[in-house]
Amino acid sequence: MKGSNFQLISQIVHGQWLIDDGFAQKMMPLVARMLQGEPVSFYDTSEEENEEVSAAYVLAPQGSGRMVKMEHAREHEIPSGSIAVIPQRGVVMKENFCGIAGTAQMREELNTLMDNPNIGAAIIVADSPGGAVNGTFEYCDAIYTSKKPVIGFVDGLAASAAYAILSGSGEIYASHESAVIGSIGVMITLRDYSDRLKELGIKEETFTSTTSPNKNSMYTKALNGEPEDLEAFLDAQHAIFMNSVRRTRTEVTDETMDGSVYLANEAKDRDLIDGIMTFEKVTERAQELIDIMQLTSI
């Protein structure tokens, strides 16, 4: 089994998720097959194609005022006033999976790019249903604490973990009024296989050390019809999510962060985003922020 598959299975079995429930339900048949040991691909594209669409790149200013894409640019080749673009595509995972960059790598790329004196701002481009809690808020914090402007751009979908990441940005824009934003909540799915094991003639008994009587107790209680401890745990993670959003989106209400998703116009009314504009307009806004920052420093 590849290491990336192990990471995904570990998250599915043990992790908490910040993910759009509709997307999660569509993936359940694939997840079930994977847990049974069958080869599964979660993407229609190859690993190489996924690496290409999730790779960070630089937009460099030209004499005409246009911005030109520079891929795999060396540090000394990047002109002053350039903009770093970091895609957030597919399911959010801490580690790289199926060629899609994980939040650990993207956080490192963001820090490296923003340390370059010739890069004045960054744009995080999201088209994602969300994903694992693990690694999401560390990446969000790196965006929030960046000393240079960061703009979030919703290129279709920014749900749950994907929105959590964008919420660290100073400004967020959606590509079109049809863009979907929100799903601010935490979920976990537990499965009870005890009846199936009985059918197979397998008796399962679990023992814990006497000095750790609460080991996995919140999961055991939930499976036995007492979900209160697990719900309290998820509530605490949801509070972390909401507090993270409110660092930059001060007008977002508790009602807005109840797990619902919104089309872009309503998302703007609810202060989840700042407006609707094309990617080209967002790059112009990033250039404006670079100019403002340079004037302020002078």
pLDDT in tens, 172-188: 999 999 999 999 999 88
pLDDT bucket at 15, cuts 50 / 70 / 90: low
pLDDT for 6 equals: 44
What confidence category does residue 205 fall into, taking pLDDT thresholds of 50, 70 and 90? Answer: confident
Q: Please, which residues have CB within 8 angstroms of residue 164's CB and are 6 or more apart in sequence?
A: 18, 130, 136, 137, 140, 184, 241, 244, 245
Average pLDDT, the chain: 86
In-domain check, residue 166: yes
- Note the pLDDT of residue 25: 61
- Degrees (nearest 5) of the Cα angle 16, 51, 106? 55
In this prediction, residue 50 carries a pLDDT of: 72
| C-alpha span between 274 and 276 (Å, rounded) | 7
- For residue 132, what is the domain's CATH number? 3.90.226.10
More confident residue, 135 or 70: 135
Nearest-angstrom CA–CA distance, 136 and 148: 20
* 161 within domain boundaries: yes
**Residues 160/189, Cβ–Cβ less than 8 Å:** no
pLDDT of residue 289: 96
Q: Is residue 219 part of a domain?
A: no
Confirm whether 279 is domain-assigned.
yes
Q: In this predicted structure, what is the pLDDT of residue 30? A: 56
First to last CA, the chain: 55
Distance CA 194, CA 234 (A): 24
- Tell me which H or E stretch contains 53: helix 47-54
Read off the pLDDT of residues 211-244 as tens digits, 9 standing for 90 and up.
999 998 998 999 899 999 999 999 999 999 999 9
Give me the domain span that covers residue 123: 3-187+253-297
Q: Which residue has the higher pLDDT, 156 or 8?
A: 156
**Whether the predicted pLDDT of 3 surpasses 60:** no
- Whether residue 79 lies inside any domain: the answer is yes
The answer to whether residue 132 is domain-embedded is yes
Domain count for the chain: 1
23 in any annotated domain? yes
Q: In the prediction, which pLDDT does 189 show?
A: 81
> pTM for the complete prediction?
0.83
Is residue 143 assigned to a domain? yes
Task: Tell me the two tokens of residue 125.
Answer: 């481009």
